[in-house]
Amino acid sequence: MANSRKFWIILNPVAGKGKAAKKRPKIERFFNEGGLNYEVHLTRGPGDALETVQGLPLGDDDIVVAAGGDGTCNEVVNGLLKRSPSKNPPIMGVLPIGRGNDFSFTPNIPQELEKALELLTKGTPHPLDAGLVKGGFFPDGRYFVNGIGIGFDTKVGFEAAKLKIKSGIVYVIGAIIMLARFEQSPVIQIQYDDKELTLPCAIVSVVNGRRMGGSFYMGPNAILNDGLLDLCVVRHQPTRRKLLKVLGHYTKGTQAQCDGVFMDRALNFKLKALSGGMACHCDGETVCYEGTELEINTIPSALRLIGA
């Protein structure tokens, strides 16, 4: 690596329920002992990572490191892609020290901090696609690198956010609440490339990465640099038991075996709710609660990601 390269570490101190802040000394010790050029920026709240990254005086070979969970990764991605275009795609690294580290799963970034640091300093930049969703709270668009969720799984996340519990069981409770309600699914028209689907959708996933929600493989065959986004649609299930069965398959990535599940991949998507509304998140960021129209586009090789 060139000596002029600098690592800009965007560290979210509250990630991992506050455990991320305690890892700062180990991160700094690693860079100091390696004689590497680096700078740590602690985020102060939602949106701060995005603004910080936008304002960094980046060199062509510099690496911006998201040290936190998926939310930190998303803000770093948006900060990088909202900057003025440069000659080469910006370089991103990840230290997965948050509670949710779904994005880092697909490129096999180690969950152990020491191994992740080794990869960060010795790994190679690989092309990384991004997506852009327009609609809801982001009419001008919000970038993502992991995925979009619409429907049941998104509402589970909304319910979990309302609960004053800081353990993984919060999502189980959210799922129980949503299963008890068993709401009617919106009828959604999905246009992608030269195809079209119209059906009542319990879950719609448009993903670049393979995993969301900690253990659910929404895109089990997704590839981060194939220039396409993977689609997985679950038709409204007639009973709670059948929906629960489909959700169980998501934990193994075998949902394609279930009746009412459709999978494909494409470059661009347009979704329109013909009845009901779409609850949507983007890498965990709320896009809308009852949206009617969304446009999702792939941006091939928008970034470069440090990996093995």
Instruction: Tell me the DSSP string of 154-200.
Output: HHHHHHHHHS---STHHHHHHHHHHHHH-PPPPEEEEEETTEEEEEE
User: Which pLDDT belongs to residue 147?
Assistant: 97
User: Which pLDDT belongs to residue 3?
Assistant: 58
pLDDT in tens, 168-200: 677 778 888 999 999 999 999 999 999 999 999
Apex 146 CA angle, 75 and 72, nearest 5:
25
Angstrom distance (rounded) from CA 159 to CA 171: 8
User: Which pLDDT belongs to residue 213?
Assistant: 83
Angstrom distance (rounded) from CA 192 to CA 100: 29
Please return the burial class of 21, using the count of CB atoms within 10 Å of its CB with bins 0-12, 13-18 and 19+.
Answer: middle
Q: Are 119 and 110 in contact (CB under 8 A)?
A: yes
3: CB partners within 8 A, 6+ apart: 37
pLDDT in tens, 260-299: 999 999 999 999 999 999 999 999 899 999 999 999 999 9
User: Which pLDDT belongs to residue 197?
Assistant: 96
The H or E element spanning position 118 is helix 113-122
Q: Are 105 and 95 in contact (CB under 8 A)?
A: no
C-beta neighbour count of 106 within 10 angstroms? 21
Residues in the chain with pLDDT < 70?
1-3, 165-168
Burial profile 170-208: b = 16 or more Cβ within 10 angstroms, e = fewer: bbebbbebbeeeeeebbebebbbeeeebebbbbbbbbbb
Extended beta strands in 208-267, E state: 229-235, 261-266
User: Which pLDDT belongs to residue 1?
Assistant: 42
- Tell me the residue type at 308: A
Angstrom distance (rounded) from CA 16 to CA 25: 16
Q: Domains for the chain: give ranges and CATH numbers.
A: 6-122 (3.40.50.10330), 133-301 (2.60.200.40)
